[in-house]
């Protein structure tokens, strides 16, 4: 009987049908990341930058965060926000999580593009964002151009 | 035959060595092309090349989102120069480089939403106005105005630092802070103060800024 129950439990776990515990139940617990789940996630459907030769480059999703290989095993994007300011410039924000147990300094910059994916302005300078161990930090940038900004791309890198 | 081959090989080696050495020396002394927004080849605890670009970029993007400054139908007139930019820090720096980078970024980003006025060039403006009004020069192609442009806002700023040194290890740490503000030249109000640009750096070996 016990074996049957255990098998049932295992089958349910493998099928991914385990109901997620309410978010509120997870407070007061140490932060843990599942980097593998983030890495296996499907690319978002939408606009992307592609090479002029098909398959010559990994498509870079727009309205998203692009990471380099030094960061993507350490940082998770918890939230990504974009909104218009009162002067119609675009303000983008990314809440980043440091999944390591060491302080992390990452460089972040933003590009703003029009509907045809042409740049509307020079790419912003690399800004250093310091993230404490197993903590969050928010990166924020604003465009200079106004209504012609249709897409953005946030690049994240680290030399550590 | 075999002997001549060995001699030829030795001669070739002897010729090759100075060339390689010269090449290595040339590589060591040649100037490098570096990204002005990157860390650079020499970096210390003070304000660096990348900080100037970061600071200008941050201030411009922040100001362009302010509806009270750029949201009106009539572009405000602003002075951006180093007259009221004070360097109280322990680092020697050309203040004009900071305000020049800021004005250049600002001017490109504004795209007509702000008008920039020069007070540094008042002497040449007054000289030309005098020439036009005395008939020595004609009126030019843009016509004449009763007075020069009045200014709505002036950008002011201050750079300050906090230095500390570990007497045992000789390690140096410096916090550098730069804050810009806009002064309303009619009322004296400060409608905008930038987010402080703060860097905190420590290094074991000093770099001379000059």
- pLDDT digits over B54-71, tens only? 999 999 999 999 999 998
Instruction: Tell me whether residues A144 and B50 touch, CB distance under 8 A.
Output: no
What dihedral angle (degrees, nearest 10) is formed by the CA atoms of B44, B50, B51, B57? -170
pLDDT at B68: 92
Query: What does DSSP say about strands B172-184 and B153-165: parallel, antiparallel, or unpaired?
Result: antiparallel
User: Which residues of chain B lie closer than 8 angstroms to A160, CB-CB?
Assistant: none
Residues of chain A contacting B, Cβ within 8 Å: 85-87, 89, 91, 121, 124-127, 141-145
Select the more confidently predicted residue: B209 or B161: B161
Residue closest to A144 by CA, chosen among A111, A113, A121, A116: A121
Q: How many CB atoms lie within 10 A of CB B200?
A: 12
CB contact under 8 A, B65 and A85: yes
> What is the pLDDT confidence band of residue B18, given thresholds at 50, 70 and 90?
low
Q: Which residues of B touch A85 (CB under 8 A)?
A: 65, 67
How far apart CA B5 and CA A5 sit, in angstroms, is: 84
Interface test with B, best of A120, A125, A142, A157 (most B CBs within 10 A): A125
pLDDT at site B208: 76
Measured in angstroms, the CA of A28 and the nearest CA of chain B are apart by: 32
Check whether A8 has a pLDDT greater than 50: no
**Model-wide pTM > 0.80:** no
In whole angstroms, give the CA distance from residue B143 to residue B149.
14
Q: A–B: how many Cβ contacts below 8 A?
A: 41
Give, in degrees to the nearest 5, the angle at Cα B160 between B154 and B161: 160
Are B64 and A89 in contact (CB < 8 Å)? yes
Query: Which structure tokens are listed for A21?
Result: 């515990």
Mean pLDDT of chain A: 84
């Amino acid at each position: 009987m016990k074996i049957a129950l255990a098998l049932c439990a295992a089958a349910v776990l493998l099928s991914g049908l385990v109901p997620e515990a309410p978010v509120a139940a997870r407070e007061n617990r140490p932060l843990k990341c599942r980097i593998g789940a983030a890495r296996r996630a499907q690319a978002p459907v939408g606009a992307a930058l592609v090479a002029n030769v098909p398959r010559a480059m990994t498509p870079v999703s727009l309205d998203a965060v692009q990471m380099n290989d030094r960061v993507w095993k350490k940082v998770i994007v918890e939230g990504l926000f974009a909104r218009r300011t009162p002067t119609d410039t675009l303000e983008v924000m990314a809440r980043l999580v440091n999944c390591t147990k060491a302080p992390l300094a990452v460089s972040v910059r933003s590009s703003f593009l029009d509907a045809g994916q042409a740049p509307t302005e020079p790419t912003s300078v690399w800004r250093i964002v310091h993230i404490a161990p197993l903590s969050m930090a928010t990166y924020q940038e604003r465009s200079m151009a106004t209504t012609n900004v249709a897409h953005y791309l946030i690049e994240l890198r680290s030399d550590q | 035959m075999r002997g001549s081959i060995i001699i030829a090989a030795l001669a070739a080696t002897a010729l090759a060595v100075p060339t390689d050495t010269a090449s290595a020396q040339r590589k060591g002394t040649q100037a490098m092309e570096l990204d002005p927004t990157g860390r650079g080849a020499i970096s210390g605890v003070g304000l660096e090349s990348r900080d100037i670009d970061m600071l200008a970029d941050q201030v411009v993007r922040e100001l362009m989102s302010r509806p009270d400054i750029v949201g009106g139908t009539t572009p405000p007139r602003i002075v951006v120069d180093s007259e009221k930019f004070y360097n109280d820090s322990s680092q020697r720096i050309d203040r004009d480089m900071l305000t020049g980078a800021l004005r250049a970024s600002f001017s490109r980003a504004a795209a007509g939403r702000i008008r920039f006025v020069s007070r540094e060039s008042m002497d040449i403006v007054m000289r030309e106005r005098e020439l036009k009004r005395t008939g020595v020069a004609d009126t030019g192609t843009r016509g004449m105005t009763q007075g020069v442009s009045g200014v709505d806002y002036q950008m002011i700023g201050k750079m300050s630092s906090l230095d500390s040194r570990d007497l045992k290890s000789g390690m140096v740490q410096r916090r550098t802070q730069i804050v810009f503000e806009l002064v309303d030249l009619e009322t004296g109000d400060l409608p905008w103060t930038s987010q402080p640009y703060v860097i905190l750096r420590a290094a074991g070996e000093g770099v001379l800024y000059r």
